[in-house]
Chains A and B, each alone.
Chain A
Amino acid sequence: MKKKLLSTLLASTMVAGMLAGCGSSSDSAAPAATQAPAAATEAATEAPAAATEAATEAATEAPAADEGKVLNIQCWNEEFINRLTDHYPGYEANDASDPTKGGKIGDVEVKFTITPSDDNAYQNNLDTILPENANASADDKVDIFLMEADYALKYVNSDVTMNLADLGIDADKDLGDQFQYTKDIVTDATGNLKGASWQACSAGLIYNRAAAKEVLGSDDPADVQEAVKDWDTFNATAAKLKEKGYTITSSVNDTYRVYSNNVSAPWVQDGKVVIDDNIKKWADDSKALLDAGETNNYELWSDDWNKGFYPDGKVFCYFGPAWLINFSMAPDQDGSIAKDGGWGFCVGPQSFYWGGTWIAAAAGTDNPTLVKDVILTMTTDQDVLKEIVEKDYDCVNSKSLLTSLAADDSFGLPVLGGQNPYGELEKGAENVDMSNISDYDQGCNEEFQTAMKGFFDGNYKTYDDAVAAFNKAIVEKYPELTTD
């Protein structure tokens, strides 16, 4: 209690000082907030440690005076909760063992609402509450919500999401170090940026080094890349792998994202669903691979799909970003390839990304200053981002940081046998082009894969039957769309 009092006291003096220093009028609190870490460092030189902490708090506390008392954050899992709890300067969790219980930033109570994304529940929830946000009572107003790329445009292209410029964030100046594709995903039809991400989940091909040695004669990323450099070469390599008993991928669904990230036009054009050539190519290639027994048709994340994480699974490669490498390939299980550092990383046939969480400000928020600070701190602050890399292994959305990581041998990943993937990841992120996304990507991608599974399994006799089923499902999901 005493400590708290002290810090509040210190806080107010610090704020006063900073405000005076800034000397500008209305939005002076905002820059003060964003400069929090810097201020903290300065303070550290002249004040004891306690004061440093106080200063950080002070800076973020400042806006609370005339703004909302509760920062409501809508999310679908604990990822962002953990990032904010672990890395946001001055954040105090209410219950250290359970971050979902929320916490405090200065005087502002931070409340998380988790709605799982299954069955579209998360979006249904947003669809209900966001349009009503302006009328909600002050403590219930949504301030921040998180989005995934697959459906981000739906919110970005509506007025429930605040323009970052209106928060005082300059897309070019403040977010200049971020990758373009991460901005494409949250740019509305008229070019306004409406969200930001701390992650750049560019991805690549993660190959089984032992299999590469056995079949291709080398496990060097450059040599392997040569064998998978485009889809035709990739498919030819699949045949070679089969001779040695390997499947090239664990499932046809592994490659779907790679194809679908490289389409020439959006899914929906003038209210009509159009199947892109590259998507059709995925179906054709996949069918051919399956018929040749060179891959399987498992659901992603299923037990069967996971089998290739162990040598006995005889899977040549997976497609994925840094988080897949670090967390999802059973690195803590004895006997897994990951534990023995047996994976390698290269770009693969086409560049793509997988995952990422975008932070957006809800229109009607009563904490604009704090929201702005959260967005800027979490997605641009170099110290925070570096901490995130070190602690959480996220591939962060900062060109300069990735460049420096790529050059630093200590960032080699154990799972990859010490290989440092950051250079490839950065290159990948630069190449990802997400200008062809549409509001309907999530539904279209899901339903297309579902329909094609029926085709691959032989439950639909022809590709056209499967497309007909796809069209049906799309109209169920989005009654306003038309199909062929």
Chain B
Amino acid sequence: MKKTSKVVEYNKWGYIFLIPFTVVYAIFQLIPLISTIYNSFFENFRSGLKQIGPNFIGFANYAKILSDGDLWKYMGNTMIMWIIGFVPQILVSLLLAAWFTDPSLRLKCQQFFKTVIYLPNLIMASAFAMLFFTLFADSGPVNSILIQMGILEKPFSFMSSVTATRCLVGLMNFLMWFGNTTILLMAGMMGIDQSLFEAAEVDGATAGQIFRKVTLPLLRPILVYVMITSLIGGLQMFDVPQILTNGSGDPARSTLTMIMWLNKHLYSKNFGMGGALSVLLFLVTGVLSIAVFKMTGTNTDK
């Protein structure tokens, strides 16, 4: 009797420790989320100094967004740029993490390489994008170098080419995140019981086999974590293309991400459309996250 009551008493601390999270979440996330959803059913915008609305218009905002096809286009842009960055990111990170944690390789200067590859992650995304903007300008250093090396005859206009601009965004995302991912994966790999590797080695497994059969499956939780956070981060892609293209998403709106689009609505204080777009983004993020969660889950279940 006495013991149970004591446990119950302890367990009330569960609630107490949850208070800060709950209160802050309610104020700064939940209320805003609800009011965002509420806003999405209204025509409510400011034009200069004139305030239009709020007038209740039901699902008209949603209908407008979904009917003109822009959402899909910008979602496509976002995903393309995410994939350009993420695929090399996860591959390179897995490779590097395997190398770094492989005791038989005994790589020297590990500390140096880790330091270097993690470095871009600390760089402010906006400063990094601004830097790339100046470096890849028509008369910027990159063109200048390529011309001096005789690779180009006249400057290549990176910012006018859809592919080049998207690849630049992808490259920046890759550079900023592969070091981070490497270190996360390393942490995961080093958490694996070394005796498993030793056993596999004794059984005559090659490095590649060990990686596929032992490391990858055991890495699943951390891989799921990396993928989900990266996907959510990818869907929220904003800073890099925003600064690189000065918010225009040029060339021809091919680098306009969903959040940049949302930002445009927020800047023109179109709360109705912005709200509807936010809700749709919310749904899209949710669906994609669940999909990835399920996919990675079932894949390794067997």
Q: Decide if A and B touch, CB cutoff 8 A.
A: yes
Report which A residues bind B (CB closer than 8 A). 119-120, 123-124, 127, 130-131, 154-155, 158, 160, 297-298, 302-304, 307, 439, 450, 453-454, 457, 459-460, 469, 472, 476-480
B55 CB–A CB distance under 8 Å? no
The residue on B at minimum CB distance from A131 is: B49
Central interface residue in B48, B139, B161, B254, by most chain A CB within 10 Å: B48
Find chain A residues with CB under 8 A from B157 CB: 297, 457
B29 at the binding interface (Cβ < 8 Å): no
Contact among B137, B247, B253 for A303, CB-based, below 8 A: B137
Q: Which of A119, A450, A472 contacts B267 (CB 8 A)?
A: A119
A245 shortest CB reach to chain B, Å: 13
Number of interface residues of B (CB under 8 A): 31
The answer to whether residues A130 and B70 also contact, given A453-B250, A454-B251, A459-B254 and a CB cut-off of 8 A, is: no
Which listed residue, A155, A302, A480, touches B47 by the CB 8 Å rule? A480
A154 partner residues in chain B, CB cutoff 8 A: 48-49
Looking at the assembled complex, report how far the CB atom of B65 sits from the nearest CB atom of chain A, in whole angstroms.
11
Interface of B is mostly: loop
Q: In the complex the two chains form, what is the Cα distance from A123 to B49 in whole Å?
A: 10
A479 touches B45 (CB 8 A): yes
Q: Judging by beta carbons under 8 Å apart, are B48 and A439 in contact?
A: yes
Chain A CB within 8 A of B239 CB: no
Find chain A residues with CB under 8 A from B250 CB. Answer: 450, 453-454, 459
Q: Which of A158, A307, A477 contacts B49 (CB 8 A)?
A: A158
Asked if A479 and B268 make an inter-chain contact with CB atoms under 8 angstroms apart, the answer reads: yes
A457-B251, A469-B253 known; A124 and B137 CB under 8 Å? no
* Cα–Cα distance between A124 and B138 once the two chains are bound (Å): 32
Known contacts A124-B267, A303-B137, A479-B268; decide if A158 and B48 are in contact (CB<8 Å).
Answer: yes
Which residues of B does A touch, CB under 8 Å? 45-50, 52, 68, 70, 137-140, 155, 157, 160-162, 247-248, 250-254, 264-265, 267-268, 270, 273
**Chain B residue with minimal CB distance to A443?**
B268
A479 and B137 in contact (CB under 8 A), knowing A124-B267, A450-B248, A457-B251? no
B70-A472 in contact (CB<8A): yes
6 A–B contacts from the bound complex (CB under 8 Å): A154-B49, A304-B138, A307-B139, A460-B252, A477-B268, A480-B50
A130-B139 contact in complex given A124-B267, A459-B160, C-beta closer than 8 Å: no
* Contact (Cβ within 8 A) A478 B162: no
Q: Is the CB of B49 within 8 A of A480?
A: no
Are the CB atoms of A479 and B273 closer together than 8 Å? yes
Given A298-B138, A302-B137, A457-B160: A476 in contact with B265 (beta carbons within 8 A) = yes
Give the 4 A-B CB pairs with smallest separation, nearest first.
A459-B252, A454-B252, A457-B160, A459-B251
Known: A450-B248, A454-B250. A297 touches B45 (CB 8 A): no
Cα-based distance from A309 to B46 in the complex (angstroms):
42
Chain A minimum-CB-distance residue to B52? A480
Bound CA span A131–B273, Å: 24
A43 to B140, CA, bound (A): 59
Give the chain A neighbours of B52 by CB distance below 8 A. Answer: 479-480
Inter-chain CA distance A234–B45, complex, in Å, is 44
**Roughly how many angstroms separate A131 CA and B46 CA in the complex, as a whole number?**
13
Give the residues in chain A near B265, CB-CB below 8 Å.
476
Q: In the complex, which residues of chain B have a beta carbon less than 8 angstroms from the beta carbon of A439?
A: 48
Report A-chain residues with C-beta under 8 Å of the C-beta of B160.
297, 453, 457, 459
Which residues of B have CB within 8 Å of A119?
Answer: 247, 267
Q: Quick one: closest B residue to A307, CB to CB?
A: B139
Q: Which residues of B contact A469 (CB under 8 A)?
A: 252-253
CB distance from A154 to the nearest CB of B (A): 4
Interchain nearest-CB distance for B80 vs A (Å): 15
Distance of A477 Cα from B140 Cα, bound (Å): 32
B153: min CB distance to chain A, Å: 14
In the assembled complex, how far is the CB of residue A164 from the closest CB belonging to chain B, in whole angstroms?
Answer: 19
Task: Return chain B residues, CB-CB under 8 Å to A160.
Answer: 49
Q: Which residues of chain B come closer than 8 Å to A479, judged between CB atoms?
A: 45, 47, 52, 268, 270, 273
A304-B138, A459-B250 given. 14 additional CB < 8 A pairs? A127-B46, A130-B49, A158-B48, A302-B139, A439-B48, A453-B160, A453-B250, A457-B157, A457-B252, A477-B264, A479-B47, A480-B45, A480-B47, A480-B50
